[in-house]
Amino acid sequence: MPSRLYIATRDPREGGGVAAKARFLYDTAEAAGYDPCLVFNNLLDHETQIRLSNPMDLVGFDQTAAIESTRIHGREAKKIPLIFPEIEFTQSIANSAAWREALRDGDVFFAVCGTNLCSVPLVKLGVPFGSWTGTLLWEDRTDRLTSAPLIERVRDRLSRPILEYLERTGYRSADPAMVVSDYTAERIASKHGLPRDSIDVVPFPIDTTRFYPLQAETGEQSGPVVLFAGRFNDPRKNVSLLIDSFATVLEAHPDSELWLMGDEPSERVRTLVADAGVSGATMFCGKVPADELPERYRNADVFAIPSNQEGLAIVGLEAMASGLPVVTTQCGGPTQYVEDGVNGYVVPRDDRQAFSEAITALCDEERRDTMGDAARDLVEREYAERTVREWFVDALERLETKRNVL
């Protein structure tokens, strides 16, 4: 009988980098002969939650009976009922009976998150586990707090000591503790007083057979296309910097286009585009289906990361695999793979002039092609799937050995 692997993660229906990492680990484990299952707090189905507004629903509530087994995108999963989700640090504590029951038949355990709070149930269970994370908790939400409602800002400030304690405990308990970039590893080691060599850097793998450059022109293109992919309504992504910078680019290259992919634009973003005078050159692509993403990358020319903070930014690597040079701010993870002047440009955070000058430089087709080739070469050498799979198969085997020893 294959060993049962439980992957504690965020709700995969949310999409994004965490869901992509969890899918990769699930598929890698299944191919290696494990029996994987995703497990997550059911954040999206509000009607199933015990909330502060309906506390009496907790009377007689059977946590274990409320566990829901399902399949998401063809992968086995378990949804864990949430109790008082408004109080964040209780999200994997108040429902600990459900987590224990859901993980009861597990042999191997892994937490895959943005921050490492998904590892809390595994810490409480007292089993050997590995983790794969992207960013420090408080760096992940600094920008969010500036625009959050007052009650959320107060809640987060009051709960910060507890949340950071849980984060520190998770990193000290995980073995291996994997993160997606050197930047994240150094920040975690510094923040929580951990030896830097106790944290492994394992970047997100890129399928270079799925993401590849455009081989031949498919028709006349009016001008260079600047692409952004991600949750651009999120203040951390700092899309205002990109929009303002693109306005300057458009003055010199009026046939340029800006594609914003990943969200339905908020009123704030629509206003930013209108006020910058770039409405006629901006296309809102919405949430593009996964099978259409590679073509979107291939039909763009320059990829932009204007963020204030990124653990890695998987989208940047997908763009580079597709032959696009990347313009990024000094926001963390992307500086690991964007080499200034070689496969793109790295500019100071929130520097409109530097960002617009970098994009303008890549409006030169010859320079763009040279840097795009260098971008593709880097991804093939250092970020291809086969290399990262080996890391995880080895990690799973070591975790299973530890479990058998106990």
For 340-373, the DSSP string reads: BTTTEEEE-TT-HHHHHHHHHHTTSHHHHHHHHH
Residue 85 lies in a domain: yes
Cβ-contact 77, 103 below 8 angstroms: no
Is the pLDDT reported for residue 216 higher than 70? no
Residue 162 lies in a domain: yes
Residue 213 lies in a domain: no
Residue 322 lies in a domain: yes
Cβ-contact 345, 316 below 8 angstroms: no
Number of domains the chain is built from: 2
| Domain CATH code at residue 356 | 3.40.50.2000
Report how far Cα 296 is from the mean position of its chain's Cα atoms.
19
Residue 75 lies in a domain: yes
Residue 38 lies in a domain: yes
Q: What is the pLDDT of residue 87?
A: 82
Cis peptide before 348 (omega within 30 of 0): no
Same domain? For 325 and 187 the reply is no
Same domain? For 187 and 43 the reply is yes
Q: What is the pLDDT of residue 387?
A: 78
Same domain? For 351 and 326 the reply is yes
Same domain? For 82 and 160 the reply is yes
Q: How confident is the model at residue 169 (pLDDT cuts 50, 70, 90)?
A: very high
Q: How do beta strands 302-305 and 225-229 pair?
A: parallel
Q: How confident is the model at residue 370 (pLDDT cuts 50, 70, 90)?
A: very high
Same domain? For 15 and 59 the reply is yes
Q: What is the pLDDT of residue 145?
A: 56
CA separation for the pair 292, 121 (Å, rounded): 36
CA separation for the pair 119, 129 (Å, rounded): 8
Secondary structure (3-state) at 97: helix
Helix (H) or strand (E) holding 177, with range, is: strand 177-179
Q: For the segment 380-392, what is each residue's pLDDT rounded down to a tens digit?
A: 998 988 878 888 9
Residue 390 lies in a domain: yes
Distance between terminal CA atoms of the chain?
20
Same domain? For 285 and 299 the reply is yes
Same domain? For 178 and 270 the reply is no
Same domain? For 65 and 135 the reply is yes
Least confident of 9-13, 114-118, 402-406: 402-406
Same domain? For 258 and 242 the reply is yes
Full strand arrangement of the beta sheet holding 257-261: 282-286, 257-261, 225-229, 302-305, 326-329, 344-347
Same domain? For 341 and 391 the reply is no
Same domain? For 166 and 240 the reply is no
Residue 220 lies in a domain: no
Give every CB contact of residue 142 below 8 A, 6+ residues apart in sequence: 236, 308, 309
Q: For the segment 61-75, what is each residue's pLDDT rounded down to a tens digit?
A: 999 999 999 999 999
Same domain? For 325 and 400 the reply is no
Domain that holds residue 256: 225-382
Global pTM reads 0.78
Q: How confident is the model at residue 220 (pLDDT cuts 50, 70, 90)?
A: low
